[in-house]
Amino acid sequence: MTVPNLFNVLFLCTGNSARSILAEAAMNHAAIGGGKFKAFSAGSHPAGYVHPLALELLREQRFPTEHLRSKRWEEFSGPDAPHLDFVFTVCDNAAAEVCPVWPGQPMTAHWGVPDPAAVTGTEEERRRAFREAFYVLSRRINLFACLPFDALNGMALKQQLDKIGCER
């Protein structure tokens, strides 16, 4: 069944274990995405697992985690892939890499966030890094979800997406 005005969004990162996973889960949460979006995540060099602190944080937020997995971005560039409306890179490495050609030419933007999985220190410092990444991504997703898509032409929408990527 196709949901009218449902936008497919792909969040990309290198490892697809933390930031892109957090963004996927946040956008798919009804309170944030408002049912207008179906989010996915992938990585150029997936870690092969979802970071335990990402899962812990999402469970604390009462977000479903059963479906989350680390996967390659090629899953979203083939003929059987879902049509993508938007593709966002959420880490600096993925933004600098050569991405696949996305069928349908989705709108793209870079929404870089520091990598919480790279933080060393105490357990509390590591958890804080995951919370900060989650809050930045959630804020951006909320701003994105509130855009008047019907009223914005392609160039104006692209400008708004890029502006959101600068929000902290």
CB atoms within 10 A of CB 88: 30
Q: Is 99 a catalytic residue?
A: yes
Question: Collapsing DSSP states into helix, strand and coil, what is residue 93?
Answer: helix
Of 13, 81, 87, 164, which is the active-site residue? 13
CB 20 within 8 A of CB 54: no
Strand (E) or helix (H) holding 89: strand 86-89
Of 69, 71, 72, 99, which is the active-site residue? 99
CB 112 within 8 A of CB 11: no
Q: Is 146 a catalytic residue?
A: no
Q: Is 166 a catalytic residue?
A: no
Of 21, 25, 50, 91, which is the active-site residue? 91
User: Tokens 């602190």 correspond to what residue?
Assistant: 53
H helix count then E strand count, the chain = 6, 4
CA distances from 10 to 56, 64, 81, 107 (A): 22, 18, 11, 10
Q: Which residues are catalytic?
A: 13, 91, 99
